[in-house]
Amino acid sequence: MKKQLLASAIAIGLASGAQASEHSGTYAFDQKGTHQFITFRISHLGYSWLYGRFNEFDGEFVYDAENPQNSSVNVTIDTASVDTNHAERDKHLRSDDFLSVKAHPQASFRSTRVEVEDGGKEADVYGDLTLNGVTREVVLDVEMLGHGKDPWGGYRMGFEAETEIRLKDFGIDYNLGPASETVELEISVEGIRQ
C-alpha cells in the first residue's frame, strides 16, 4: 500500500512538473497581430486626462513556470511612433522639449529582477527604463492574463503591466503644471513561444 501511495505521489509530481514546464520558454511579441499596446495618460491641468500610445515597439519575455522569479522581459520602443491623435501635439512630443526622438530614437526596458506574488500570476518586475537618454529603475506591476495553444499550432501567453514615472526623472522638465508631473503607463502584450 505504501509503495502504491509513493508511486502515485511521484506520478502526480511528475505530471504537475510537466504541466508547469509546458508553458515555460521564450516568447516573442506578436508583431503580426494587433494584440499589444503601450498606452499612457497624463493629467491636463488637473481637469481631464490626455491619452496616447506608442504604435511601434517590439520585445520578448522569458517565462520560467517552475521558478517565475527567474523570468525576464526586454522591450524596445520607437519613440517617434508616439500618437495622441493630434498631429501638432505629437510633433511637439517628438521635439527636444519631450522625447528628443532625433537624439534618442528608441526607449527600452530591461528587467533586472522579478518578485512573484499569487503563485506566479502577479509580480513586481524591476528593471531599467531608458527614455530620453536617461536610465532609471522602475517597477512594473504585472499580471499574467493567460496562456495556451492558438488555432495555428503555436503557444501564446499574455501579460498586462502598469507603472508611473516622473517626467523630470527622465530629463523632461517642460512645465506642464503641477498636476502633470507624472505619466501613467500601461502595457499589454501577447507573446508567441519560439
pLDDT reported for residue 150 = 95
127 DSSP β-pair partners:
111, 138
pTM of this prediction? 0.86
Cell of 29: 511579441
Answer for the pair 96, 151: CB distance below 8 angstroms, yes or no.
no
Structural domain boundaries of the chain?
Answer: 24-193
pLDDT reported for residue 11 = 36
Answer for the pair 164, 186: CB distance below 8 angstroms, yes or no.
no
pLDDT reported for residue 117 = 85
Q: Tell me, what DSSP letter sits at residue 31? A: S
pLDDT in tens, the chain (194 residues): 434 433 333 333 333 344 456 789 999 999 876 789 999 999 999 999 999 999 999 999 999 999 999 999 999 999 999 999 999 999 999 999 999 999 999 999 999 999 998 777 899 999 999 999 999 999 999 999 999 999 999 999 999 999 999 999 999 999 999 999 999 999 999 999 99
pLDDT reported for residue 171 = 97
Report CA-CA distances (Å) from 152 to 147, 148, 176. Answer: 14, 12, 47
Q: Tell me, what DSSP letter sits at residue 46? A: T
Fold of the CATH domain 24-193:
Lipocalin (2.40.128)
For residue 28, the surrounding DSSP H or E stretch is strand 25-29
